[in-house]
């Protein structure tokens, strides 16, 4: 089997995710993937299988466990993935039986494990014979138990809807730079190209595409008139007050979507874009260049301002801190496989450290917007509550009178799928004095 086969490519991608802990984005942006000789259609199918298998991995693994007479050996992880690829095609993609079974069986030969061809054939044909389907419980089973337990604890009666939403394919959402073009005018440009889209009901700059497309098809993308950004993420720049001439810090800024939006939304600000990853900052620079914007780009740890802050202070800070990413599982389903429950406590400690450190470089009278793409309360409202207890000079600015999200004891929470947005949290803090 050659390296242009989409199922073989998906298998190799999943092996890198599970065995090497690489994210799907990292693998798909790698030189290996970019150099594959496959057609755009086959690369698209390999991405579909990879994303879908991450989304349904735990539910399909449970089903597979029930169909095997004995567990596969650890060294046969590839055969387990071959079986899961077959199950995903049959039960989710509903690929034709002949293609799903025969093409999946061929993967055992590509892996030099012909002994497994009979096993794969028998399991997949047994699923067809028994007319198995993913039942209503599959949406819960598709979520790692520890994440499911936290969602149920935090959100009670809303948990089932959240778990269902996390398993849906996310829309491709665009952000129009409304200084260059109105949203309605851009919708007309898309319609002229037969790209069907609709205006987001709550976020004025956001457009939802009916079908995802290559960014090369988007008019004005190379000039920064439009960017790809979830509607919930588009709320950050308008929420952070920035007067002309203000000195603004975007902490944890890479890959730069919010940095570009801040510069496009707020006239005349001086932006510092900070991130600990020099490699990810390359993407930020590309984003800013595409939009014709400039910022001072800093490599450094947001929790250690003494290593990058040259004695200055900021009028406004966007603290979009590292988090569990539990609100964006539908967009990044590999998080289900890569994140561990043991990660949460260190993340909470890191968030608190970053908040305190950034607060030290915020001017009296300045504002800091705390943001995560998490739906865990301990990373959001509880984190803000603890911060306010530590800092008597801090006060929270209520995010009232808004149509999106749900007001919480501190801040405002968007739950996954709400108005077709990812799960995000925002809290606006002001420094008195």
d(CA 142, CA 59): 4
**Which pLDDT score, from 0 to 100, does residue 164 have?**
96
Q: What is residue 392's three-state secondary structure? A: coil
- Which of 181, 323, 373, 432 is labelled catalytic? 373
Residues 102-117, mean pLDDT to the nearest whole number: 96
CATH fold of the domain at 6-140: N-utilizing Substance Protein B Homolog; Chain A (1.10.940)
Tell me the pLDDT tens digit for each residue of 247-275.
999 999 999 999 999 999 999 999 999 99
Tell me the pLDDT tens digit for each residue of 181-214.
999 999 999 999 999 999 999 999 999 999 999 9
Q: How confident is the model at residue 127 (pLDDT cuts 50, 70, 90)?
A: very high
Residues 101-121, mean pLDDT to the nearest whole number: 96
Instruction: Transcribe 80-106 into DSSP letters.
Output: HHHHHHHHHIIIII---HHHHHHHHHH
Sorted by where each begins, the domain ranges of the chain are 6-140, 172-228, 233-431
Q: Between the CA of residue 205 and those of 30, 59, 233, 265, 414, what are the distances in Å? A: 31, 37, 11, 11, 18
Asked if residues 333 and 299 have their Cβ atoms less than 8 Å apart, the reply is no
Q: How confident is the model at residue 1 (pLDDT cuts 50, 70, 90)?
A: low
Residue 321 in tokens: 């801190």
242 is catalytic: no
Asked if residues 176 and 183 have their Cβ atoms less than 8 Å apart, the reply is yes
In 133-158, which positions are buried (b, 16+ CB within 10 angstroms) versus exposed (e)? ebeeebbbbbbbeebbebbbebbeee
In 104-126, which positions are buried (b, 16+ CB within 10 angstroms) versus exposed (e)? bbbbbebbebeebbebbbebbee
DSSP alpha helix (H) spans, 303-366:
335-338, 344-359
Query: Does position 2 have pLDDT exceeding 80, yes or no?
Result: no
**Which pLDDT score, from 0 to 100, does residue 136 have?**
85
**Which pLDDT score, from 0 to 100, does residue 408 have?**
98
**Which pLDDT score, from 0 to 100, does residue 3 have?**
81
Domain at 233-431: CATH architecture:
3-Layer(aba) Sandwich (3.40)
Q: How confident is the model at residue 4 (pLDDT cuts 50, 70, 90)?
A: confident
DSSP alpha helix (H) spans, 291-433:
335-338, 344-359, 381-390
Tell me the pLDDT tens digit for each residue of 330-347.
999 999 999 999 999 999
Strands annotated E in 140-203 = 172-176, 197-199
Strands 314-320 and 247-251: parallel
CATH fold of the domain at 172-228: Alpha-Beta Plaits (3.30.70)
**Which pLDDT score, from 0 to 100, does residue 233 have?**
98
Strands 270-275 and 172-176: unpaired
Q: How confident is the model at residue 316 (pLDDT cuts 50, 70, 90)?
A: very high
């Amino acid at each position: 089997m050659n390296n242009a086969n989409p199922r073989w490519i998906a298998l190799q991608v999943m092996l890198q995710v599970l065995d090497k802990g690489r994210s799907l984005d990292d693998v798909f942006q790698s030189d290996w993937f970019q150099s594959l000789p496959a057609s755009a259609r086959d690369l698209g199918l390999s991405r579909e299988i990879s994303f879908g298998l991450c989304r349904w991995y735990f539910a399909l693994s449970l089903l597979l466990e029930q169909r095997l007479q004995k567990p596969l050996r650890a060294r046969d992880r590839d055969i387990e993935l071959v079986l899961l690829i077959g199950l995903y095609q049959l039960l989710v993609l509903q690929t034709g039986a002949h293609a799903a079974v025969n093409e999946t069986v061929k993967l055992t030969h590509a892996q030099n494990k012909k002994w497994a061809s009979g096993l794969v054939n028998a399991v997949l044909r047994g699923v067809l014979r028994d007319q198995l389907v993913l039942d209503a419980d599959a949406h819960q089973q598709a979520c790692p138990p520890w994440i499911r337990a936290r969602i149920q604890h935090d959100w009670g009666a809303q948990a089932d809807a959240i778990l269902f939403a996390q398993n849906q394919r996310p829309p491709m959402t665009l952000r129009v730079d409304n200084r260059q073009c109105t949203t309605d005018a851009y919708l007309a440009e898309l319609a002229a190209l037969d790209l069907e889209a609709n205006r987001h009901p709550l976020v004025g700059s956001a457009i939802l595409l009916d079908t995802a497309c290559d960014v090369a098809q988007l008019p004005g993308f190379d000039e920064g008139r439009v960017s790809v950004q979830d509607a919930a993420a588009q709320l950050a720049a308008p929420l952070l007050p920035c007067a002309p001439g203000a000195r603004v810090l975007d902490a944890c800024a890479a890959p730069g979507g919010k940095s570009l939006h801040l510069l496009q939304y707020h006239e005349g600000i001086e932006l510092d874009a900070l991130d600990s990853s020099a490699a990810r900052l390359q993407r930020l620079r590309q984003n800013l260049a595409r939009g014709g914007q400039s910022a001072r780009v800093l490599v450094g740890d947001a929790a250690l301002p003494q290593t990058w802050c040259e004695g200055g202070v900021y009028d406004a800070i966007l603290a979009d801190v590292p988090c569990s990413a539990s609100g964006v599982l539908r967009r990044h389903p590999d998080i289900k496989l890569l994140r561990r429950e043991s990660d949460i406590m260190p993340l909470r400690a890191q968030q608190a450290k970053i908040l305190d450190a950034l607060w030290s470089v915020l001017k009296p009278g300045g504002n800091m917007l705390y943001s995560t793409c998490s739906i865990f309360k301990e990373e959001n409202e509880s984190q803000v509550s603890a911060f306010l207890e530590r800092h008597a000079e801090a006060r929270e600015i209520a995010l009232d009178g808004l149509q999106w999200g749900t007001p919480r004891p501190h801040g405002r929470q968007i739950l996954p799928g709400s108005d077709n947005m990812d799960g995000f949290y925002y809290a606006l803090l002001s420094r008195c004095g």
